[in-house]
Amino acid sequence: LLAASDSGGVATYHPVLDQQSLRRLQLGTEIEQAMADGQISVVFQPIIDAQSSDIVSVETLVRWAHPRYGSISPDDFIPLAEQIGRIGAVTDHVLDLALARCRRWLDQDIALSVAVNLSVHCLTEPDLVTRVRGALQRHGVPGELLTLELTEGSVVDDSVRDSTVLADLHDLGLRLSMDDFGTGYSSLSQLRQLPIDEVKIDKSFVLGMSTSQGESFIARSIIELAHNLGLRVVAEGVEDEMTRNLLTEMGCDKLQGFLVSRPLPDDRLENWLLARTGVRSAAPGAAHRRL
């Protein structure tokens, strides 16, 4: 917390922690308790089939409702959790909530798959595969109903590439999705050597599609190349009809974004599903074919 500097043989110390860093450090120590207290929860954002508009999956997104600071964005506290070595615990918590939700759907005959985001740090934890397998077994959810979203950093990370972690995860029957595609350094040809099933076009490209031909061109190129490699393509950040139509024409497989639905807490997702499909997932016997 103090930085030493050598000034003529006498070490002097300067405080290097500003207010913001102090608050971050404080927050870090609160993560574990916040999970136990239910402050850290999840919302679910629907993903639909581009052609049929059927809901095919929901992405689980973590939320922290802090009693003093209000809602803290995952873009702020996930990097913090990574830095202080708590990302594994946060991931387990999110996975648990996602699979519990999936299990409740299964109990009502609804086979709706859930996606969970995985930080690159998690892929280097030696027990990750065991923990994911354990979570699936504990909830009685088949691997096919789980998608893990990885960021591009994961596949350019040497220790991940040199390990069998992606293949081992894939062997659990789950799907691997490359999140935020196009923002990192990986190329589609690199993906070909990995057990990746789908790519998600980063929302920075999708958001610009209705106004910029350049962004549309990038989206079209990603879709074509990905399809040639046998990968499915999801577009995130679909906010308007024009973008939706463009992506559908381009053959994009799945759509996600505010146009379809914002991320929703559990009870509101329930209402959204009901309004959209006429299926109340709370009612036993709802036919999963209709979702």
Choices 25-33, 104-112, 164-172, 233-241; region in contact with ligand C2E by CB under 6 A: 233-241
Q: Which is nearer to ligand C2E, 113 or 119 (CB)?
A: 119
**Distance between CA atoms of 115 and 240, rounded to whole angstroms?**
23
* HSE (side-chain half, CA atoms, 13 Å) at 63: 17
In the complex, minimum distance from the CB of residue 205 to Mg ion, in angstroms, rounded to a whole number? 11
Near ligand C2E by CB under 6 A: residue from 26, 29, 53, 73: 73
In the complex, minimum distance from the CB of residue 107 to Mg ion, in angstroms, rounded to a whole number? 26
Near ligand C2E by CB under 6 A: residue from 34, 48, 58, 78: 78
108 with 281: CB under 8 angstroms?
A: yes
- The reply to whether 180 sits near Mg ion by the rule CB under 5 A is yes
* HSE (side-chain half, CA atoms, 13 Å) at 43: 14
Choices 47-55, 170-178, 230-238, 264-272; region in contact with ligand C2E by CB under 6 A: 230-238
- The reply to whether 89 sits near ligand C2E by the rule CB under 6 A is no
> Quick one: 202 exposed, middle or buried, by C-beta within 10 A (0-12, 13-18, 19+)?
buried
DSSP one-letter string for 203-272: HHHHHHTTT-HHHHHHHHHHHHHHHHTT-EEEE----SHHHHHHHHHTT--EE-STTT---B-HHHHHHH
List the x/- string, 170-199, binding to ligand C2E by CB under 6 A. ---------xx-------------------
Near Mg ion by CB under 5 A: residue from 117, 147, 186, 261: 117
Q: Which residues of 120-141 are buried (b: 16+ CB within 10 A; e: fewer)?
A: bbbbebeebbeebbebbeebeb
Choices 91-99, 148-156, 212-220, 240-248; region in contact with Mg ion by CB under 5 A: 148-156
Q: What is the DSSP letter of 85?
A: T
Near ligand C2E by CB under 6 A: residue from 94, 176, 199, 234: 94
**Distance between CA atoms of 119 and 126, rounded to whole angstroms?**
14
Near ligand C2E by CB under 6 A: residue from 258, 265, 280, 290: 258
- How many helices (H) and strands (E) the chain has is answered by 12, 11
Residue in the shown chain whose Cβ atom is closest to ligand C2E: 257
- The reply to whether 75 sits near ligand C2E by the rule CB under 6 A is yes
Q: What is the dihedral of CA 183, 145, 278, 240, to 10 degrees?
A: 10
> Quick one: 247 exposed, middle or buried, by C-beta within 10 A (0-12, 13-18, 19+)?
buried
Q: Which is nearer to ligand C2E, 168 or 239 (CB)?
A: 239
Among 91, 89, 207, which Cα is nearest to 149's? 91
Interface with Mg ion: number of residues (CB under 5 A): 5
In the complex, minimum distance from the CB of residue 79 to Mg ion, in angstroms, rounded to a whole number? 12
Q: Which is nearer to ligand C2E, 235 or 286 (CB)?
A: 235
Instruction: From the list ligand C2E, Mg ion, none, pick the one residue 225 interacts with, judged by a Cβ distance below 5 to 8 Å according to partner type.
Output: none
Binding site residues, Mg ion, CB under 5 A: 117, 149, 179-180, 236
Binding site residues, ligand C2E, CB under 6 A: 45, 61-62, 73-75, 78, 94, 117-119, 149, 179-180, 203, 236-239, 257-258, 263
